Amino acid sequence: MIISNCINQKHYYKALEELIKKVKNIVTLSAEAEAYLYSIAQEISVSKGSILIREGQTVDKIYFVTHGCLRSYCTDKNGKEHTLQFAIKNWWISDYIAIHNDEAATLTVECLKDSTVIEFNAQEINGILYQYPEYEPFQRFILERHVVSLHKRILNQLQLTATERYDLFLVQYPDIEQYTRNYHIASYLGITQESLSRIRVDIAKS
Amino acid sequence: MKALQVIHFGDIQDSLAYNEVSKPTVGPHDVLIEIKAAAINPIDKSIILGNLQSMLPIPLPSTIAYDLSGIIVEKGDQVSNFDIGDLVYARVPQEQMGTVAEYAVVLDKAVSKKPGNLSFEEAASIPLAGLTALQSLEHAGIKAKDKVLIHAGSGGVGSFAIQYAKAKGAYVYTTTSTKNVPWVKELGADRVIDYKTEDYKTIVKDADIVFDTLGKNYTLEAFQVVKQGGKVVSVVGPLDVESARMFGMAAYELPEDLAALSQAKEATYKFIFMHPNGSHLSEIKTMIEDEKIKPIIDKVYDFSESIEAFKHLATGRAKGKIVIKIS
């Protein structure tokens, strides 16, 4: 569960300042727009094992990770989990399917290690686009980055071997194996746990 | 809701029937689980036959079985560690028996989230056998390098116990029949003894722990192969004095032959009465997610074929667990 809200005011501003700095690298933000961003953001500390979004429930939050790691996954009809995304520092995570279609969550978002995230209400962050259109290029930038990441993931899935996908995964998430379970990674790569173990043995031998 | 019930005691075909029963209601510490899969165990057969009426009396009709996996759809107002929508597995407490049904109410303390890498069918196969193995071997204080004999390595409890003991770093002997030797070896047992061609008593010497899952003469023979000061744990042998007192049998004494053997070897004898425990299931969840333990399933039956599943159970030939897919 979420253990505290805005626990450290100084830290709160620092993490959000960093995010706003990223925004300012892309767009020129008015003082009003910046104040609005501050007003709708909330930094929260989440402990390992916490569930931020639960399958089947309403979703109205999106999260920007400033520290730690979150995972989104769906559960198939047989009850097995399939990892969609790992979100480490500087990544956004939510159930965008649920938000966009205004339907119940098909994903669960869980915290894999103690993390700090900036939480936004999805409607409020969309509201900024109408009130402060100068923010829009930043929104487009993160959306495009997300699409690029997803396209790469699909293409890798289509054309790379499991070993190549695993190698790339380790480049993208170098320390992630310290706090993930094998099945988190195997289901992200679309392979069995046994295959992942074999790949690791092969890499260790080579 | 639909439930498979014991309607009288005796032959499986005549003693089980599908009944329409009311959906159970949650108490303050209960969760209501929409059951996706149930697993059946030898104890269910004993219950149907009426063999346990003196020890675990059940009213008729009663919904059968103890193992389940499913989704929490409702919870009592005192339940804080689970939420609606959680995917869980459990061995339900005795008084909540009845998992071959569409819903079950289960005490929160008996429930754990299910391993994320298992299907509902696989998860349902774990609780009773897993808890029995864990609680037996932990009672015996299993540790790395212990020599452990596990009888009936191809059974539901045995196949789990082998993997659990290996995860703890023990050296594992197990017994099984010729046709099961290869796959039991794959579970990680160090020495698989084919009881049809080999005498385990000449192979196992000075075991730290003997886990007796067969009973009768195997319980007594355990003291031939256990080391001086070792431990014999049994889930089928005679009650030990402490367990008997728990059941109110104040005058109970250990059978003389067993008592003499135990004394001669200064080896303890303990009957393990498995108890439902959500924390233990959480430990098992972690071990499964870390691939230290895999579910072993003999066959999955549809809900409509449940009576066939019990007939298969009664043959005693299943390799691993028999599972019933509910929805």
pLDDT, tens digit, for every residue of A92-131? 999 999 999 999 999 999 999 999 999 999 999 888 989 9
| Chain B contact present for A9, CB below 8 A | no
Assess if residue A165 is contained within a domain: no
Q: Which of B84, B120, B291 sits opposite A79 (nearest CB)?
A: B120
**β-strand partners of B101:** B3
H or E segment and range at residue B63:
strand B62-63
Assess if residue A19 is contained within a domain: yes
DSSP B101-134: BSEEEEEGGGEEEPPTTS-HHHHHTSHHHHHHHH
- Spell out a b/e string for B256-273, using b for 16 or more CB atoms within 10 Å of the CB, else e: eebeebbeebebebbbbe
Candidates 3.10.20.30, 3.40.50.1950, 3.30.450.20, 3.90.180.10; CATH matching B2-126+296-325: 3.90.180.10
Other CB atoms within a 10 A radius of the CB of residue A161 amount to 10
Give the separation between CA B62 and CA B164, rounded to whole angstroms.
Answer: 33
Judged by CB atoms closer than 8 Å, whether chains meet at B116 and A193 is answered as no
Q: Which of B83, B85, B119 sits opposite A79 (nearest CB)?
A: B119
Assess if residue A192 is contained within a domain: no
**β-strand partners of B38:** B68, B324
The pLDDT, as a whole number, for residue B81 is 93
pLDDT tens readout for residues B207-239: 999 999 999 999 999 999 999 999 999 999 999
Give the separation between CA B170 and CA B189, rounded to whole angstroms.
Answer: 10
Give the separation between CA B13 and CA A35, rounded to whole angstroms.
Answer: 73
Q: Which of B83, B117, B120 sits opposite A193 (nearest CB)?
A: B117
**Between helices B156-167 and B127-139, what is the axis angle to 10°?**
50
Question: What rounded mean pLDDT belongs to chain A?
Answer: 90
The pLDDT, as a whole number, for residue A4 is 42
> Domain locations in chain B?
2-126+296-325, 129-271
Q: Which of A55, A187, A193 sits opposite B291 (nearest CB)?
A: A193
Identity of residue B50: G
**Number of residue pairs across A and B with CB atoms under 8 Å?**
42
Residue A8 has pLDDT above 90, yes or no: no
Judged by CB atoms closer than 8 Å, whether chains meet at A79 and B69 is answered as yes
Domain of A53 in residue numbering reads as 2-134
Which single residue is written with the structure tokens 């173990």?
A: A197
Q: Distance from A204 to chain B by nearest Cα, in Å?
A: 19
Q: Are A48 and A159 in contact (CB under 8 A)?
A: no
> Would you give the DSSP letter of residue B22?
P
Q: Which residues of A touch B83 (CB under 8 A)?
A: 51, 54
Q: Which of A57, A78, A193 sits opposite B85 (nearest CB)?
A: A57
Give the separation between CA B12 and CA A137, rounded to whole angstroms.
Answer: 70
The pLDDT, as a whole number, for residue A5 is 43
Judged by CB atoms closer than 8 Å, whether chains meet at B119 and A81 is answered as no
Tokens encoding B46: 């004993």
Closest listed residue to residue B42, CA positions, set B169, B129, B159, B131: B129
Q: In the CATH scheme, what is the code of domain B129-271?
A: 3.40.50.720
Q: Distance from A200 to chain B by nearest Cα, in Å?
A: 14
Give the separation between CA B57 and CA B50, rounded to whole angstroms.
Answer: 9
Closest listed residue to residue B271, CA positions, set B237, B296, B227: B237
Q: Under 8 Å CB-to-CB from A141, ≥6 apart: which residues?
A: A26
Q: Under 8 Å CB-to-CB from A54, ≥6 apart: which residues?
A: A105, A108, B83, B85
Give the separation between CA B257 and CA A119, rounded to whole angstroms.
Answer: 69
Which ranges of B140-228 does DSSP label H, i.e. alpha helix? 156-167, 181-186, 200-203, 217-225
Judged by CB atoms closer than 8 Å, whether chains meet at B118 and A79 is answered as yes
Sign of CA dihedral B176, B180, B182, B188: negative
Residue A1 has pLDDT above 60, yes or no: no
Identity of residue B200: Y
Which single residue is written with the structure tokens 């192979």?
A: B203
The pLDDT, as a whole number, for residue B190 is 97
Q: List chain B residues with pLDDT less than 70.
A: none
The pLDDT, as a whole number, for residue B56 is 83
Q: Distance from B174 to chain A by nearest Cα, in Å?
A: 25
Judged by CB atoms closer than 8 Å, whether chains meet at A181 and B83 is answered as no
pLDDT tens readout for residues A146-199: 999 999 999 999 999 999 999 999 999 999 999 999 999 999 999 999 999 999
Assess if residue A173 is contained within a domain: no
Q: Are B44 and B310 in contact (CB under 8 A)?
A: yes
Assess if residue A159 is contained within a domain: no
Other CB atoms within a 10 A radius of the CB of residue B225 amount to 21
pLDDT tens readout for residues A75-89: 999 999 999 999 999
Tokens encoding B231: 């431990």
Q: Under 8 Å CB-to-CB from B186, ≥6 apart: which residues?
A: none
Restricting to A residues 180-199, those with a Cβ less than 8 Å away from any Cβ of B are: 181-183, 186-187, 193, 197
Assess if residue A205 is contained within a domain: no
Assess if residue A177 is contained within a domain: no
Q: Under 8 Å CB-to-CB from B242, ≥6 apart: which residues?
A: B270
Assess if residue A83 is contained within a domain: yes
Give the separation between CA A129 and CA A137, rounded to whole angstroms.
Answer: 9
DSSP A36-83: HHHHH-EEEEE-TT-EEE-TTS---EEEEEEEEEEEEEEE-TTS-EEE
| Chain B contact present for A48, CB below 8 A | no
Judged by CB atoms closer than 8 Å, whether chains meet at B289 and A54 is answered as no
Closest listed residue to residue B17, CA positions, set B69, B53, B62: B62
Give the separation between CA B33 and CA B70, rounded to whole angstroms.
Answer: 6
- Spell out a b/e string for B37-72, using b for 16 or more CB atoms within 10 Å of the CB, else e: bbbbbbbbbebbbbebeeeeebeebebbbbbbbbbb
Q: Are A112 and A70 in contact (CB under 8 A)?
A: yes
Q: What is the domain count for chain A?
A: 1
Residue A124's domain is classified under what CATH number? 2.60.120.10
